[in-house]
Homo-oligomer: A and B are copies of this chain.
Amino acid sequence: MADREAAKSVLRTQKIELPSWAFGNSGTRFKVFAQRGVPRDPFEKIADAARVHAHTGVAPTVALHIPWDQVDDFQVLGRAAKDAGITLGTVNANVFQDDDYMLGSVTNPNPAIRRKALDHLLACVDVMDQTGSRDLKLWFSDGTNYPGQDNIRARQDRLAEALDAVYRRLGDDQRLILEYKLFEPAFYTMDVPDWGTAFAHCLQLGDRAKVCVDTGHHAPGTNIEFIVAFLLRAGKLGAFDFNSRFYADDDLIVGAADPFQLFRILFEVVTAGALAEDSDIAFMLDQCHNIEPKIPGQIRSVTNVQEATAKALLVDTDALAVAQAAGDVLGANAVLMDAYNTDVRPLLAELREEQGLDPDPMGAYARSGYAERIVAERVGGTQAGWGA
């Protein structure tokens, strides 16, 4: 078993970014169930995100989604975040919720709509300049529903053109993070359906273009940790969007559906040194809390990532390497499973106490009265949501 203290020293520096939209209402195409106490504006979202950080100590940044989090003055928003103990993180563009985008945004056959979409992307870089964000995360809902609907190759050309324009607009310390997704909302082709497509475009763009792996965006049977290992080897992994799934892009709490998979992913991250303090991999959550309360849902997500990370750090990599080199199939697997089967909750409780935190973040939040307070206070106004 690897060194507990060494594991703790890495865990102490781990950072997980929260998505502002996880605090608003979300749902399926069938129904968005409203919850009481949900934020009505970006400031209330930031307050909730800060609360997650207060209890976990490892969630110091919050990602924004434009226009869901559009405010008049991002410096004010940034100060609000700072006052609450966190900072603004990745900027997520949104070119999928205007009626103009019915047939695509940057890949739309209509050049005027492409221009409109590109302008939004560029405006997001303006926001980054104000917020000091490093990363622009791009997810395109673009695609087609029917064979023949549009020209697959022409859409790639249009995509490449838009990406290039955005990339050239970025500052030297800014990055373009390209997300891929197998399907939904398009049901025949997606314009960036898989890691290979995102990777090829990022290669074309340059060093500051990287791929985002959303753990829910793959075909059944896909080995996600292989993709992670491959992208890390190629220097092209930029970010994670963590969540979990049983079927499609279910957006459940990360680690809820397949905790062993999350462990295997984080083991590849650890193996590649990508948890080091100078690593530039962004570890984000991207989830929906459709039926569970949102702040506890985020806390649980954070602790699930922590637990998987702790287990990954406990793998006895020397013993593993020996068994692997010897072709000892069961022995090598046993080394990995030994770490996975370890109960790391005591180690994390200890870590939190050393950091002056309550060892039980879920319990501490429940006892804090915050949930009751926001239900009481957040009355009137319009609850934040996805805007669909």
Question: Interface residues, chain A, CB within 8 Å of chain B?
Answer: 26-34, 96-97, 99, 101-103, 108-110, 141, 145-153, 156-157, 182-185, 187-190, 193-197, 199-200, 203, 218-223, 225-227, 229-230, 232-234, 245-248, 250, 252-253, 256-260, 264, 268, 271-272, 290-293, 296-297, 300, 307, 320-321, 324-327, 329-330, 332-337, 340-343, 345, 362, 386, 388
A67 CB → nearest B CB, Å = 13
Q: Which residues of B contact A188 (CB under 8 A)?
A: 223, 246, 252, 257
Given the complex of chains A and B, what is the CA–CA distance between A110 and B185 in angstroms?
A: 34
Given A219-B221, A330-B297, A388-B31, does the pair A187, B258 have CB atoms closer than 8 Å? no
Given A31-B388, A96-B31, A223-B188, does the pair A152, B229 have CB atoms closer than 8 Å? yes
Q: Which residues of B contact A218 (CB under 8 A)?
A: 219
Given the complex of chains A and B, what is the CA–CA distance between A225 and B248 in angstroms?
A: 19
Q: Which residues of B contact A190 (CB under 8 A)?
A: 223
Given A33-B99, A297-B330, A329-B291, does the pair A193, B260 have CB atoms closer than 8 Å? no
Q: Which residues of B contact A103 (CB under 8 A)?
A: 291, 327, 329
A161 CB → nearest B CB, Å = 13
Oligomeric state, in copies: 4
Closest to A34 in B: B99
Q: List 10 A-B contacts (CB under 8 A).
A: A29-B185, A30-B141, A31-B388, A110-B327, A147-B333, A149-B329, A194-B196, A196-B196, A219-B219, A334-B362
Contact for A223 among B189, B268, B333, B342, CB less than 8 A: B189
B246 near A292 (CB under 8 angstroms)? no
B148 near A320 (CB under 8 angstroms)? yes
A30 near B199 (CB under 8 angstroms)? no
B291 near A229 (CB under 8 angstroms)? no
B225 near A149 (CB under 8 angstroms)? no
A307 near B341 (CB under 8 angstroms)? yes
Contact for A324 among B33, B109, B307, CB less than 8 A: B109
A333 near B183 (CB under 8 angstroms)? no
Q: Which residues of B contact A229 (CB under 8 A)?
A: 152-153, 156
A371 CB → nearest B CB, Å = 12
Closest to A146 in B: B333
B200 near A248 (CB under 8 angstroms)? no
Contact for A30 among B156, B185, B257, B337, CB less than 8 A: B185
B32 near A388 (CB under 8 angstroms)? yes
A232 near B327 (CB under 8 angstroms)? no
Given the complex of chains A and B, what is the CA–CA distance between A232 and B118 in angstroms?
A: 26
A115 CB → nearest B CB, Å = 16
B183 near A145 (CB under 8 angstroms)? no
Given the complex of chains A and B, what is the CA–CA distance between A99 and B199 in angstroms?
A: 36
A324 near B247 (CB under 8 angstroms)? no
A105 CB → nearest B CB, Å = 11
Q: Which residues of B contact A29 (CB under 8 A)?
A: 26-29, 185, 386, 388
Q: Which of A108, A247, A259 has the most CB of B within 10 A?
A: A247
Given the complex of chains A and B, what is the CA–CA distance between A143 and B285 in angstroms?
A: 24
Given A103-B291, A196-B195, does the pair A96, B333 have CB atoms closer than 8 Å? no
Q: Which residues of B contact A290 (CB under 8 A)?
A: 145, 185
20 new A-B pairs (CB below 8 Å) besides A147-B337, A183-B248? A29-B29, A30-B141, A30-B386, A31-B97, A31-B101, A33-B102, A145-B292, A146-B252, A147-B333, A151-B271, A156-B229, A183-B221, A183-B250, A184-B248, A196-B200, A200-B234, A291-B329, A292-B329, A307-B341, A341-B345
